[in-house]
């Protein structure tokens, strides 16, 4: 084990870009974990055990971040000094704000009508929109177009929350 790295791409020896080979990521993760898993250090000194735990925790955090497209995008922006500003930057393109309101109204209408089919249809629409936005996001990130990439991440965060809301509503209806 050498020193811990703050760059998840370097940790797994992967190119620093949005498009990522998931098979290579999983193989790199397993390789790192096989070298640093705390069980391998059961008879080591306390200091060596702590370092192994740090490595294992770092590998887990890196893997969880890089395997999720939205987390990976946010991480790439952070590596380039770009704060997505999801907590305090709600400025978005007017067309997305209108779409957001339409989705919210459709969710509310479907919930009021207890219409699981309508919620499923909305979930399908959101998945398709998410896929389109992720493709554009990848292009922006890989071409260093940071500003539109950051806005796309904020939009995708909203879409993810809407998808979670729909899934929760469907589950609530099914369990009622």
Does 1 score more than 80 pLDDT? no
Report pLDDT for 89.
Answer: 65
Could you tell me if 125 and 154 are in contact, meaning their C-beta atoms sit under 8 angstroms apart?
Answer: no
Q: 126: closest CA among 173, 75, 160, 174?
A: 160
pLDDT of 4 > 70? The answer is: no
Q: In the chain, what percentage of residues exceed pLDDT 90?
A: 73
Question: For 98-135, what is each residue's pLDDT tens digit?
Answer: 999 999 999 999 999 999 999 999 999 999 999 999 99
Question: Which pLDDT does position 106 carry in this prediction?
Answer: 96
Distance CA(96)–CA(129), nearest Å, equals: 11
Residues of the chain with CATH 1.10.287.110: 8-67
CATH 1.20.1280.20 domain span(s) along the chain: 94-175
pLDDT of 13 above 80: yes
Residues 6+ apart with CB under 8 A from 108: none
State the average pLDDT over residues 54-75.
94
The per-residue pLDDT for range 143-155, each reduced to its tens digit, is: 999 999 999 999 9
Q: Is the pLDDT of residue 176 over 70?
A: yes
Number of other CB atoms surrounding residue 31 within 10 Å: 13
Specify the pLDDT at position 5. 65
Q: Which tokens go with 141?
A: 């990130």
Fold of domain 94-175: Monooxygenase (1.20.1280)
Q: CA 31, CA 26: separation in Å to the nearest integer?
A: 9
Provide the mean pLDDT of the chain.
Answer: 90
CATH 1.10.287.110 fits 8-67, yes or no: yes
Q: Are 55 and 32 spatial neighbours (Cβ–Cβ below 8 Å)? A: yes
- For the cut 60, the answer to whether the pLDDT of residue 3 exceeds it is no
pLDDT at 43: 75
């Amino acid at each position: 084990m050498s020193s811990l790295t703050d760059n998840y791409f370097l940790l797994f020896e992967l190119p620093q870009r949005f498009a990522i080979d998931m098979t290579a990521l999983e193989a790199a993760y397993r390789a790192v974990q096989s070298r640093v898993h705390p069980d391998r250090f059961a008879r080591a000194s306390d200091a060596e055990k702590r370092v192994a735990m740090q490595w294992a925790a770092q590998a887990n955090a890196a893997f969880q971040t890089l395997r999720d497209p939205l987390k990976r995008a946010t991480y790439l922006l952070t590596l380039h000094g770009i704060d997505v500003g999801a907590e305090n930057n709600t400025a978005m393109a007017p067309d997305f704000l209108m779409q957001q309101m339409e989705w919210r109204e459709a969710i509310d209408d479907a919930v009021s009508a207890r219409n699981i089919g309508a919620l499923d249809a909305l979930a399908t629409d959101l998945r398709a929109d998410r896929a389109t936005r992720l493709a554009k996001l990848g292009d922006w990130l890989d071409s260093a177009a940071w500003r539109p990439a950051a806005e796309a991440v904020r939009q995708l965060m909203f879409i993810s929350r809407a998808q979670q809301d729909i899934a929760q509503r469907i589950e609530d209806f099914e369990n009622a």
